[in-house]
Amino acid sequence: MVLAVLLFLTPLFLGVWAGLLSQPVVGIFVLASVVPAFLLAMFIRHTDSFQTVPKTPLAIMFSLGLVLTIFARLVETALQPAFQLVPLVGTVLFYYLIVAAAEETSKWLAVRIYSFRTTYLNTAIDGAVFGAFAGLGFATVKISSTS
């Protein structure tokens, strides 16, 4: 249980403290993006009424969602200049074809890499819970980086 809490909270607190020390306003915005994710994570975990998944696998899934945001960002950054050649149409195509595909693929990878190898994926609701935690990790980074 201690490991689960550390895995879940360490990346979040490192970002918050780094932000608070270097730029207090940014740190406050990062904290404001972390709190809703934590509250939603607690709510989602408790909605699994059949057999609640332990905290450690969910913390790992959340962390994978955090880490695999890098994959989506790399793909988006590499392909964006090609779409900027055509101002309006290129932007629309970039967001529909590249951003959406890269972000959803990274969340799918988080679920595929870890949850399929655990013994905790027993029912469809378990898959939804794992996917929600991966999505919350991803969303935490996205919201933190845009504030």
Pick the more confident residue, 64 or 143: 64
- For residues 36 and 88, the answer to whether their CB atoms sit within 8 Å is no
Lowest model confidence (mean pLDDT) among 3-17, 38-52, 101-115, 126-140: 3-17
Contact in structure between 129 and 43 (CB atoms under 8 Å): no
Which among 59, 73, 69, 68 is positioned nearest to 10, based on CA atoms?
Answer: 59
Q: How far apart are the first and last CA of the chain?
A: 31
Most confident region among 32-36, 85-89, 98-102 by mean pLDDT = 98-102
For 146, phi then psi, to 5°, come to -95, -10
